[in-house]
Amino acid sequence: MISIPSTLKISIRALWVNKMRSSLTMLGIIIGVGAVIAMLAVGTGASRKISQQIASIGSNLIIVIPGSMTQGGVRLGAGAQSTLSREDAEAIGRECPAVQAVSAEMRRAAQVVYGNQNWATAIQGLEPGALEVRDWGLVDGRNFSEQDVRNATKVCLLGQTVVDSLFGSMDPVGQIVRIRKIPFVVIGVLEKKGQSPIGQDQDDVVFIPITTALKKVFGTTHAGTIGSIMVKAVSTEALPEAERQVTELLRQRHRIGPGREDDFTVRNLTSMLQVAEQSTKVMTLLLGAIASVSLLVGGIGIMNIMLVSVTERTREIGIRMAVGAKARDIRLQFIIEALTLSLIGGVTGILVGVTVSGILSALAGWSTEVSILSIFLAFGFSALVGIFFGFYPAYKASLLHPIDALRHE
């Protein structure tokens, strides 16, 4: 009968006799497990941050921007030609069943002034439905009304960055700010969104009614034209259908014949950002796979040390066999020694990995997130490394003949 406790005691005693060698052997596992946890934490943190940024811009989004144009033989980029109007946006909302909400938009940079404070920011002319399109709420005040849009009322909504820069801790609702020397009443404060996936501060913005922007603040070269149209599909599954319906409707409205190029561009923002999120997940797996190589190196180190240990303890093995130890007892002893090295190294590596992740987050400013799954994976893999790489030395030790082992010097 194999006595696990006594075999474990013998194995630990053998490791303790060679403390330095055992510590150096565990070092490979410690580095491997720590690297796996730290790399997965960096990758998972980056993936989570991108997911939050994707959620912050809104869900199921499509953006329609003006098309390109050719001038003097030079083809200009998208948005160079004014081809979209508020009527296009209204038609999309009215005639496309796969569309839930739509908003015409116009964006310019301008200085916003309050008292002796001023701030350069983005001014966006929007429809009242823009907040629904972008899944953007208010923390104070109210949204534009249809009457505000019809009357081109001089009212505005402020992003959190603008509020902090102009008002500090003061309540801005009801105050008057100046945009291009035109007074606007602040009627609401937008909830904080944070950075967009491309690094822009989404809270550094002022929203005003689209008609106010067109008639009183910006003006356009072509009357009634707008900068873009934001479209929200009824669901993620309906995005391709919404994109098709929007494209067909605008081609019909703009009288674009078969085979002719569109004078607008339709982009599925959600799909583009989901590709970026998927790329980050692939990067996480790649980082984890690279870090796992160090675990294999640590496992090979364990096997080498255990083979050396078998050679050094050949006489001890012979004595144990001579007094009745079976081959399976010898195998079990060396497997337990290898497994003990891996498990102790695994626990230490987990502590190292969590610590390194915290240091990277604090000093380098990287977004890290240590998951329970990564800890279990690293720890389980370290245990498998111990069993796998400890089996051959254990098997080799169990094949020794007692007489030959006792004669070994």
Beta strand pairing call for 117-126 and 182-190 = unpaired
pLDDT in the model for residue 79: 46
pLDDT in the model for residue 81: 60
Q: What is the amino acid identity at position 340?
A: T
Q: CA torsion 218→221→223→228, rounded to 10°? A: -70
Q: Do 197 and 273 form a contact (C-beta atoms < 8 A)?
A: yes
Sequence spans of domains, the chain: 4-53+275-407, 82-262
Tell me which residue of 306, 308, 287, 302 sits closest to 366, measured CA to CA. 287
Tell me which residue of 386, 409, 406, 270 sits closest to 337, measured CA to CA. 386
Tell me which residue of 239, 365, 312 sits closest to 15, measured CA to CA. 312
Q: Quote the radius of gyration of the chain (alpha carbons, Å).
A: 34
Residuewise pLDDT in 10s, the chain (409 residues)? 456 666 667 667 767 777 777 777 778 778 878 888 887 787 777 777 766 666 666 668 888 988 765 444 444 444 446 678 888 988 998 999 999 889 888 888 999 999 889 999 999 999 888 888 888 889 999 998 989 999 999 999 999 999 999 998 899 999 999 998 899 999 999 998 877 666 678 899 999 999 899 888 886 655 567 888 989 888 878 888 998 999 999 999 988 888 888 888 888 876 656 666 676 677 767 766 776 677 777 777 777 777 777 776 677 767 777 777 777 777 777 777 777 877 888 888 888 888 888 888 877 666 777 878 778 877 787 777 777 777 777 777 777 766 665 565 5
**Residue 76 per-residue DSSP state:** P
State which H helix or E strand residue 229 sits in: strand 228-233
CA distances from 100 to 97, 105, 142, 242, 320 (A): 8, 17, 21, 9, 79
CB count in 10 Å sphere of residue 28: 24
Tokens, residue 409: 């010097």
- Partners of 209 in the beta sheet? 126
**Residue 201 per-residue DSSP state:** B
Q: What is the amino acid identity at position 267?
A: R
**Helix, strand, or coil (residue 189):** strand
pTM: predicted TM-score of the whole model, two decimal places: 0.61
pLDDT in the model for residue 73: 45
Q: What is the amino acid identity at position 315?
A: R
Using CB atoms within 10 Å of the CB of residue 261, give its burial: 0 to 12 exposed, 13 to 18 middle, 19+ buried.
Answer: exposed
pLDDT in the model for residue 75: 46
| Sign of the four-CA dihedral 387, 391, 392, 397 | positive
**Whole-angstrom Cα distance, residue 396 to residue 409?**
18
